[in-house]
Structure 1
Amino acid sequence: MEIVDVKEIQARFNEAVDLFWGYWGSGNNRSFYEQCMQNSHGPDGIPRFYVAISEGEMVGTYSLLRNDINSRHDLYPWFACLYVKEEYRGKGIAKNLLQHGVEQAKKLGFKMLYLESNIDGFYERLGWNENGLTYDPFGNHAKIYEINLEE
């Protein structure tokens, strides 16, 4: 398996957009994902979008974002859009994507990395610490997890 920045695989760009949108999007917002991905690699290096490829098939995703559409705009970057196709789960791909994100955030010079989730136990086992709550525009909340990239 390899993890590739979507910007590096332009020939498969639409396939990558469809994978992100297919899991994280809804109805008619594919253009949101497409434009976000087209305009990645800003002045501070983010946002970035990655896909995991196994035997030629895109099997998972993640992104590094300035904000994961939540109320904590003071915190960034955010590890977001972690997804592994169902038939590939249980093979360590999510763990590999998460570790890749940590490494990329370090390379970009960030000192902390954040994510939001209501999954108990998974992120803690991988060294992340729970640190409060964040809210989305629809009134939902999620736990904030953080990891120190300088340790």
Structure 2
Amino acid sequence: MNNQEKLSDNDLFLSKYSIYFLHEKPEYIEEMGNIFYNEWKDVYIAFGLNTLNDVIQDMKEKHACNHNKLPMLMIALDNNNQNLVATISLEICDVTSDNPYYNTTPWLACVYTKDEYRGEGIATYMINRMLQFAQQLNYTYIWLWTEHSRSLYERIGFHFVEKIQHLRKDVDIMRIDFNITNY
């Protein structure tokens, strides 16, 4: 295979997975709600979403119809069996009102890949895809917080801002600027 015939990383990804906004595939809301609630229960409770049903209802009301305004949620599906593979969202805010970053927006959140699909670059692809949409919406930077994935986000271009306590956890606050003259 010569260079012209060689598939790009993007083509390889899209041969295995399809990306959708949640409004295009609302049948995955309950499965996603279950994953999110199990993965980030303490975060949802801090935002007043105390039960799985609260999380699912919030997704239906706030995420299921958006693809060009916040909050928006994207999913990746396996092309072979249409299994949910990964999720990512862009939120108005992903910290509670007692956090010093409460008035900043937007936030990358809900970055999740099912265990059996990890290590294939899916999270990186999804993050880059969501960053493209954020730029199309004229955002100049994106915030996130992470407990364990700082190096992943640094490879993508996020920079470390500071380590803080958030919801009784040590987290890294990070940001990516689309206009690097800000540095």
Normalised TM-score (structure 1): 0.84
Aligned to 1:59: 85
The alignment status of 1:126 with 2:159, answered yes or no, reads no
Would the aligned equivalents of 2:28 and 2:84 in 1 still touch at CA under 8 Å? no
- Say which structure, 1 or 2, has more relative contact order (CA 8 Å, 6+ apart): 1
State the distance in 2 between where 1:89 and 1:20 align: 17
RMSD: 2.3
The alignment status of 1:25 with 2:41, answered yes or no, reads yes
Aligned match for 1:50, one of 74, 82, 103: 74
Q: Percent identity between the aligned chains?
A: 25
State the distance in 1 between where 2:40 and 2:54 align: 11
Change (3 A) 1:33 1:49: farther
The one-letter code matched in structure 2 to 1:25 is: K
Q: Which moved more, 1:104-113 or 1:17-26?
A: 17-26
| Bigger share in strand | 1
Shift of the alpha carbon at 1:134?
A: 4.3
Q: What are the equivalent positions in structure 2 for 1:2-151 lying under 5 Å apart?
A: 2-25=18-41, 29-38=51-60, 39-40=62-63, 45-55=69-79, 56-70=82-96, 71=99, 72-118=101-147, 119-136=149-166, 138-150=167-179
Would the aligned equivalents of 2:143 and 2:175 in 1 still touch at CA under 8 Å? yes
In terms of Rg, which structure is larger?
Answer: 2
Segments of 5+ residues of structure 1 without an aligned counterpart are none
Normalised TM-score (structure 2): 0.71
State the distance in 2 between where 1:15 and 1:3 align: 16
The one-letter code matched in structure 2 to 1:121 is: S
Q: Which moved more, 1:116-125 or 1:8-17?
A: 8-17
The one-letter code matched in structure 2 to 1:122 is: L
Change (3 A) 1:139 1:17: closer
Would the aligned equivalents of 1:62 and 1:81 in 2 still touch at CA under 8 Å? yes
Q: Deviations over 1:9-51 (max 9, x none)?
A: 1334333333333433379621232232222367x81111121
Aligned to 2:4: none
Would the aligned equivalents of 1:20 and 1:61 in 2 still touch at CA under 8 Å? no
The one-letter code matched in structure 2 to 1:47 is: P
Q: Deviations over 1:47-100 (max 9, x none)?
A: 111211112110111111111134111211100111101110110101011111
| Bigger share in helix | 2
State the distance in 1 between where 2:160 and 2:107 align: 14
